[in-house]
Chains A and B, each alone.
Chain A
Amino acid sequence: ETGVTQSPTHLIKTRGQQVTLRCSSQSGHNTVSWYQQALGQGPQFIFQYYREEENGRGNFPPRFSGLQFPNYSSELNVNALELDDSALYLCASSLGEVYEQFFGPGTRLTVL
């Protein structure tokens, strides 16, 4: 059974640029959630996708957007990057249930 994978591992961007982060769900999981973990904080919910549709969104501006593909993999896109977007971005997959989420290792984004 393949776990949740994320790419890239690390990324450095400058203010105003756009970034795309990728996530492959654990085999058989149809729900993907994205979280932002700033330094010294716990993960904060960005949004969730279930069967290719957005299924809930946290308190993040519209420049944070996402996609889920038919194979349940997912992308997180962030436009007009700001310095405060520097964080660890975590993807978690589950089989429909909110609670039983399995996390990937994360992508460390640095915005200069």
Chain B
Amino acid sequence: DQQVKQNSPSLSVQEGRISILNCDYTNSMFDYFLWYKKYPAEGPTFLISISSIKDKNEDGRFTVFLNKSAKHLSLHIVPSQPGDSAVYFCAASGNTPLVFGKGTRLSVIA
């Protein structure tokens, strides 16, 4: 049973617009959430994280929002750039090994 779900396999966005990637989780013991970005032939690269004591964390063009009651988090990228085209993985932990979603492939069209 998937504890971390990314229900959109792919997303296409115009350059300069906002990209919103979504992630849902089922385990209420998760207290730390991360987003990783993965380019072909490379390992995942850490992007941004959020602790369950917060509902928002921002780093430059990237913002992660956490809604604990809905067990939902989202990653906002604004403005989107062609170099953001990659697979984005949501991951979660509750003093446990990281549990990853299946990923969302983002394509930013120039």
Contacts and interface: CB of A to CB of B under 8 A. Distances in A.
Contacts of A33: 97-98
A103 interface: yes
A19 B69 CA distance: 45
Interface residues of A, number: 23
A42 B43 contact: no
B43 A98 contact: no
A108 to B, nearest CB: 9
Q: How many B residues touch the partner, as a band?
A: 20 to 34
Nearest to A3: B43
B28 interface: no
Interface in A1-46: 4, 33, 35, 40-45
B98 A105 contact: no
Nearest to A33: B97
A100 B100 CA distance: 14
Interface of A: 4, 33, 35, 40-45, 48, 56, 58, 90, 92, 98-106
Given A4-B43, A45-B98, A102-B46, 6 more contacts: A43-B89, A98-B93, A99-B49, A99-B93, A99-B98, A103-B43
